[in-house]
């Protein structure tokens, strides 16, 4: 099964979700370059507080890049263009948060996010995104909690990292 694309979801759901974090979405024409795409099209791109996508951008990529924006500190957000940077533990937090936020995209939800991450080639030492999320992501959970991005129940706090 191919991964879910931005064209397969109602973009209003993604826009309202990311607006809670101060992130705007801009779509670009099919086959056009995607501004701020670190991995190149069809991957999503970040420039400042704008997430760029195309119809063929994987939905998991849009959420992953958005979570980079959410997880980075304000100093990095102020200079953000293409390369989100960050540490390994922050990357784990990004992956964990994108899984949590996928539940707020009705066409996606957690199960689809996990399978799309596996299909796209995300690499986890336990062999799958689901195994990592359920059995090996305590450090990501703690990082998100410590940085005020989730609460102790693992629910989003709806604010970007300070």
**CA-based radius of gyration for the chain:** 14
The answer to the question of residue 135 being in a domain is: yes
The answer to the question of residue 24 being in a domain is: yes
Query: What is the structure's pLDDT at 34?
Result: 98
Q: How far is CA 160 from CA 19, 41, 114, 157, in A?
A: 11, 26, 23, 9
The answer to the question of residue 155 being in a domain is: no
Residues spanned by the domain of 76: 6-146
- The H or E element spanning position 6 is none
Write down the residue that tokens 């760029």 correspond to.
52
pLDDT tens column, 13-37: 999 999 999 999 999 999 999 999 9
The answer to the question of residue 157 being in a domain is: no
Query: What is the structure's pLDDT at 1?
Result: 72
The answer to the question of residue 159 being in a domain is: no
The mean pLDDT of the chain is 96
pLDDT tens column, 95-150: 999 999 999 999 999 999 999 999 998 988 889 999 999 999 999 999 999 999 99
Overall number of domains in the chain: 1
The answer to the question of residue 160 being in a domain is: no
Split at pLDDT 50, 70, 90, the class of 81 is: very high
The answer to the question of residue 158 being in a domain is: no
Closest-CA residue to 35 (of 49, 21, 51, 55) = 51
Query: What is the structure's pLDDT at 104?
Result: 98
Query: What is the structure's pLDDT at 125?
Result: 85
pLDDT tens column, 33-76: 999 999 899 999 999 999 999 999 999 999 999 999 999 999 99
Q: What angle do CA 149, 108, 7 make, to 5 degrees?
A: 110
The answer to the question of residue 152 being in a domain is: no
């Amino acid at each position: 099964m191919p991964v879910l694309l931005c064209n397969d979801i109602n973009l209003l759901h993604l826009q309202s979700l990311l607006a809670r974090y101060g992130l705007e979405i801009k779509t670009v024409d099919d086959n056009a370059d995607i501004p701020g795409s670190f991995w190149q099209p069809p991957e999503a791109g970040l420039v400042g507080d704008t997430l760029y996508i195309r119809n063929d951008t994987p939905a998991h990529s849009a959420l992953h890049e958005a979570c980079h924006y959410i997880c980075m500190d304000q100093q990095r957000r102020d200079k953000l263009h293409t390369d989100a940077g960050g540490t390994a533990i922050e990357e784990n937090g990004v992956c964990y948060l994108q899984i949590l936020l996928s539940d707020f995209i009705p066409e996606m939800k957690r199960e689809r996010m996990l399978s799309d991450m596996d299909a796209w080639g995300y690499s986890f030492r336990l062999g799958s995104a689901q195994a990592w999320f359920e059995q090996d992501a305590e450090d990501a959970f703690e990082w998100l909690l410590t940085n005020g991005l989730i609460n102790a129940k693992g629910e989003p706090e709806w604010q970007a990292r300070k």
